[in-house]
Amino acid sequence: MGLVKLLAASLTGLLLTVGGTVALSSGTGTSCGVAAVSRADAAGHDPVAGYSGDQLANAADIINAGAQLGLTAQAQSLGVMTAMGESSLTNLDHGDTAGPDSRGLFQQRATWGSLAERMDPATAARLFFQRLVALSGWETMTPSAAASAVQINADPKHYAPFFAPATDVVTALTASAGGACGVVGEDAVGLAQQLVTAADNGQLRGLVPDHLKEIRWIASGQTVPDCGIDTRILQVMVLAVNQFHHVGVSDINRKCTGQLLGAGTASSHWINGGGGAVDFYSLGSRNLTGADGQSLRLIGLLDPVMPTGARIGQADCRRVAGINLALVHFTQFDDTCNHLHLDVAFTDDPTIRRSDDPTIR
């Protein structure tokens, strides 16, 4: 059976606190594009990154506003980050000396809208996101620089300290919903061309040795011996870029670059001509351990649609962190805690499933 188009839920797992551990139980979830984070559920959620109660309820409104506009989890985190930097996620009914007419979560001035609009968290968030998407090239900016441009803040680094806690809040609250991840095709050249565009825009980065050249060769239609990439891996990478905007990849085809690391020639990066695995070192501009929120989000997104027998690394890193994953299609193995490994090199199942496939549980 050939590869099918992938329309995956942006986070199909459910994060639950169970006896001090975190269990991710994959299931059907929701389709991409709409998040439904209840204000009441968010307000009752355990504190996240020092935020709780009404602060998390306000974050839920921001997340939902971004999702309703078809924005990804990365953009939702950017919105939550901005509100953290402006109001500590508190719906302020006053401004300051620099902006005496500033109001609400985003401290928007009168030029943004009526007082009622600025004081309504959901409407204020929509106003913010509408200006964000109208900003040319915002996707390739750092989150803080994009927010500063929207908010007309002279310091492009002003919001940077809030991005990590914002992604933690978004990850915690969007347990079964998230942003739009779109439809991923099954043509290797087309997928590679999308990734080349992302690389040229600074959204996809590599390390040394350069594995991105393997993608560039495929995009240009070249067949370089022992430098190919499994189409399913290209699909996973496109989906990751769509969801997180900024993605770092440290390893793809080791046979191409001659790297004899770890399992050597038995590695999933090497066997069968190589290219059956990918190592992510960052998602959404955050470094990965395999047990962090961004890693868990990607695992939850992919598990229901991956081929049976696909593998995910860093099992020991999650065990140490007290995280238990109840997975459907991935099998897990131990690996170093400075990246997230994913491979399809040991499975004969060629399919990546649609999110509406009846075999997805």
Better-scored residue on pLDDT, 299 or 74: 299
As a whole number, the mean pLDDT across the chain is: 83
Provide CB contacts within 8 A for 67, sequence distance 6+: 33, 34, 35, 76, 177, 178, 179, 180
CATH number for 114: 1.10.530
Quote the number of domains for the chain: 2
Q: Which two tokens stand for residue 168?
A: 């933690």
In the Cβ-directed half-sphere of 31, how many Cα atoms lie within 13 Å? Answer: 9
Q: Which of 144, 173, 202 delimits the end of a domain? A: 173
Q: From 110, 139, 173, give the residue that closes a domain.
A: 173
What pLDDT, on a 0 to 100 scale, did the predictor assign at position 350?
Answer: 75
What 3-state class would DSSP assign to 89?
coil
Q: Looking at 133, 150, 173, which one is the last position of a domain?
A: 173
Q: What is the pLDDT of residue 168?
A: 85
Q: How confident is the model at residue 141 (pLDDT cuts 50, 70, 90)?
A: confident
User: Given a cut of 90, is residue 176 above it in pLDDT?
Assistant: no
Q: What pLDDT score was predicted for residue 244?
A: 84
Which helix (H) or strand (E) is 66 found in, with range? helix 54-68
**Greater model confidence, 112 or 294:** 112
pLDDT at 303: 86
pLDDT band at 340 (very low <50, low <70, confident <90, very high): very high
Q: What would the DSSP string read from start to end of 207-234?
A: -SS--HHHHHHHHTT---TT----HHHH
Same domain, 164 and 194: no
| Residue 27 placed within a domain | no
Q: Mark whether 331 and 209 lie in a shared domain.
A: yes
Question: Residue 115's domain spans which residues?
Answer: 33-173
Q: What percent of the chain has pLDDT over 90?
A: 54
Q: Is the pLDDT score of 34 beyond 50?
A: no
Q: Is the pLDDT of residue 36 over 50?
A: yes
Torsion (CA) 169, 68, 120, 38 in degrees, nearest 10:
-50
69-81 pLDDT, tens digit per residue, is: 878 778 899 999 9
**pLDDT higher than 70, residue 26:** no
Same domain for 214 and 159? no
Instruction: Give the orientation angle of helix 73-87 with respect to helix 143-151, to 10 degrees.
Output: 60
For residue 145, give the nearest of 134, 158, 133 by alpha carbon: 158
Q: Is residue 337 part of a domain?
A: yes
